[in-house]
Amino acid sequence: MSQEALPVYEATQETAQTTEATGGLGTLGINVNIFAAQLVNFIIVLLVLWRWGYRPIVKLLDERQKKVEKSLQDAADIEKRVVSLEEERKSILSQAKHEASVVLEKVQVDADARKVDLLLKAREEVNHVVQQGKVQLLAEKESMLRDARQEIVNLAVESARKILEESITEKKSQALAEEVIEKMS
């Protein structure tokens, strides 16, 4: 073989030996020993990260998700309670308005009845006062008539006495009668 072909032959031989030793990965530029060491390191790092990194993160995310779900459930419960309280408030307010209108109606009816009652009592009292006034006026009238009669009787007796005491003429008698009538008026 020639000198020039010798390096090519040697390179080919070396490549064939490496291929046999590495199982064909050597032709790709991969060293099996380094690859195996890197694979073991990768698995160790993967296990460490899975044990102390991934599991706590997943656990933390699960807890966070549970808290969020619980918060959402609590918010839904609170919203339901708010709707329920609003309906209850409306119901109570409606009932209170109804009761207030019933009470107001009753008070109005009672006030009207009281007004009618007071008017009747006032009329009765006015009628009673008027009746008492009439009775009192009649009593005073009768008293005045008695007094007037008594006065007339006294005047008549006095006149008769004067007439009998004096001998009166007809003219004097007429004057005395006129005097008595004037006193009576």
- Residue 39's pLDDT band (boundaries 50, 70, 90)? very high
Start-to-end CA span in the chain (Å): 195
What is the model's pTM?
Answer: 0.39
Domain boundaries, the chain: 31-184
- Residue 157's pLDDT band (boundaries 50, 70, 90)? confident
CA separation, residue 32 to residues 18, 22, 75 (Å): 11, 6, 59
User: What does the pLDDT look like over 113-156, one tens digit per residue?
Assistant: 999 999 999 999 999 999 999 999 999 988 888 888 788 777 77
pLDDT higher for 56 or 185?
56
The two three-digit tokens of residue 83, written as one number: 């709707």
Distance (Å, whole) CA 51 – CA 56: 8
Tokens 């003219």 appear where?
A: 171
Provide the residue type at 167 as one letter.
S
pLDDT higher than 60, residue 1 = no
Crossing angle of helices 170-184 and 55-165, in 10° steps, is 170
Q: Which of 16-20, 23-27, 59-63, 162-166 has the highest mean pLDDT?
A: 59-63
User: What does the pLDDT look like over 21-31, one tens digit per residue?
Assistant: 555 555 566 77
What pLDDT, on the 0 to 100 scale, is given for residue 10? 75
